[in-house]
Structure 1
């Protein structure tokens, strides 16, 4: 058996707490029974890394967490997936990033979020040789580093022969695009959602918005569009890939799962369309459960799902 592809994920790592069956926020100090409360490792770096590990990659995480019980839970969940967490620095002065996600019966999922240690991660926190043997670097949340530092990090990965990707965390607006602009020319794959693309560019449709981001420097823009699937745009082509027809439980982490499936496909030489289909199939596994680690899936089962399941 060949060695697993080595991937580094850097940036945002979060502990999500999913609360299923929230019909309303109780008034005063009243309580309410819910169906399920579950914790999962998440974040534009952590969640993507988790799914990449499920899909057969050797994953190393880089970022920052606190020294609190939230960190112990998050690190345990990542280690259980075989992820090397040695690059997650422990910071005593900040709490570990965490979110609480009350999921309503119709699937809506408002969130409470604490940035915590994710805001403390800096480029200097990575050792000079940290990326020397990776095939790919995925940076989740470049807005915390800022464009120049994010661009420098991606350039370090490219200098050792790795490909690179970015996934934004914040809602899209032109100011955010200006903030991370220096990173785009060092980015092989930009992995935003539809709302981010439209907000970043002011475009009226995804294809033209994604093309504007390509013209701003990204090599390829692969956009998630919820039930519509994904749109992949390069300077030469636009590809639309439909989502799979499934019963959705919770869409938390679907974007991270798409990113992981898409990147896994590209790392093994799939075409853009084939990689996007694998990304949609990985996202479907997550949408059918609670969190990126819900259920049991691997690369073979995701491929089999993609072959056997109809699209919308």
Structure 2
């Protein structure tokens, strides 16, 4: 599997042990502060690399110290970063995620350079030889431009997948749906599916998205696992019980495991099981890069679950 992960790259700062925001200029001690690479392209990229794929990232970062840290973390995970262009006039995208003792995790987010990434920043010849293109954040390009990129990937023999970053609503759906006829796999969460479609059930909503041209919709449902819907079948795969520390990045980890499973010739059910098992590794610590798993160890986890 040689995959181009295109779009949103973020540096997350996790702050553990936040009970409240201090008044005025008061301070507060916390348990842990940790950086991790993230984003619907960046987070998925590092997990794919751990699972044995050759990964090339494409997107935009700034020229700031945040970019230096983010690029170093991606490269340490084996991700090729030459396709990440520098935008001196924009800061690198970043989030601060305070995690409360009950597990709630509100976030502050700066879009930064992600909002400045354009199709002109990705020379199509850089995609030669890929077997898959994963677009994280089609809303930043818009449906027509995203569709052209995905169509090109298909024209050179690659399969395609899309993951949306923003919350789902009908206006956003209208903005990106031109990309759907060129999308083999759409990887939303349950709230996005229901928000996009207004459907009464998750399966009904996923089928509505398939009707717009998507080949397969693989929906994450948090603790409920995943739902995989095509025109011909519906598959439910449960989540695996683990001691959850933080769920940040679990959706990206599912995407990586699901796509890697498909690349290995596994059935959609088996691929979704690999996705849920990969997400379970991430949930046991802080950030998308938690742990030291690889494909063999995740398969061992699957076999013992």
* Alignment TM-score > 0.5, same fold: yes
Q: 1:107 aligns with which of 80, 103, 109?
A: 103
Q: What corresponds to 1:76 in structure 2?
A: 72
Q: CA RMSD in A?
A: 0.5
Give yes or no for the alignment of 1:184 onto 2:183. no
Q: Could you give the per-residue CA deviations for residues 150-182 of structure 1, whole angstroms, max 9, x where no partner exists?
A: 000001100100000000000000111100010
Tell me the distance in 2 between the aligned counterparts of 1:53 and 1:203: 35
Give yes or no for the alignment of 1:136 onto 2:135. no
Q: 1:170 aligns with which of 155, 166, 170?
A: 166
Q: CA deviation at 1:128?
A: 2.6
Q: What corresponds to 2:222 in structure 1?
A: 226
Q: What corresponds to 2:254 in structure 1?
A: 258
Q: What corresponds to 2:25 in structure 1?
A: 29
Tell me the distance in 1 between the aligned counterparts of 2:124 and 2:186: 24
Give yes or no for the alignment of 1:152 onto 2:152. no
Name whichever of 290-299 and 218-227 sits farther off.
290-299
Q: Could you give the per-residue CA deviations for residues 96-138 of structure 1, whole angstroms, max 9, x where no partner exists?
A: 0000000011111000000000001011111131111001000
Q: CA deviation at 1:291?
A: 0.8
Tell me the distance in 1 between the aligned counterparts of 2:124 and 2:184: 22
Tell me the distance in 1 between the aligned counterparts of 2:88 and 2:177: 32
**Structure 1: 4+ residue segments shifted above 2 A:** none
Q: 2:51 aligns with which of 51, 55, 73?
A: 55
Q: What corresponds to 1:273 in structure 2?
A: 269
Helix, strand or coil at the partner of 1:50? helix
Q: CA deviation at 1:185?
A: 0.3
Q: What corresponds to 2:197 in structure 1?
A: 201
Q: 1:243 aligns with which of 226, 230, 239?
A: 239
Q: CA deviation at 1:194?
A: 0.2
Tell me the distance in 2 between the aligned counterparts of 1:299 and 1:24: 39
Helix, strand or coil at the partner of 2:96? strand
Q: What corresponds to 1:125 in structure 2?
A: 121
Helix, strand or coil at the partner of 1:129? helix
Equivalenced residues, count = 305
Tell me the distance in 1 between the aligned counterparts of 2:292 and 2:213: 37
Q: CA deviation at 1:290?
A: 0.6
Tell me the distance in 2 between the aligned counterparts of 1:93 and 1:258: 33
Name whichever of 38-47 and 26-35 sits farther off.
26-35
Q: Give the TM-score of the pair, scaled to structure 2.
A: 0.99
Helix, strand or coil at the partner of 2:6? strand
Q: What corresponds to 1:40 in structure 2?
A: 36
Tell me the distance in 2 between the aligned counterparts of 1:128 and 1:224: 31
Helix, strand or coil at the partner of 2:125? coil
Q: Could you give the per-residue CA deviations for residues 67-98 of structure 1, whole angstroms, max 9, x where no partner exists?
A: 00000000000000011000000110000000
Helix, strand or coil at the partner of 1:130? helix
Tell me the distance in 1 between the aligned counterparts of 2:34 and 2:129: 35
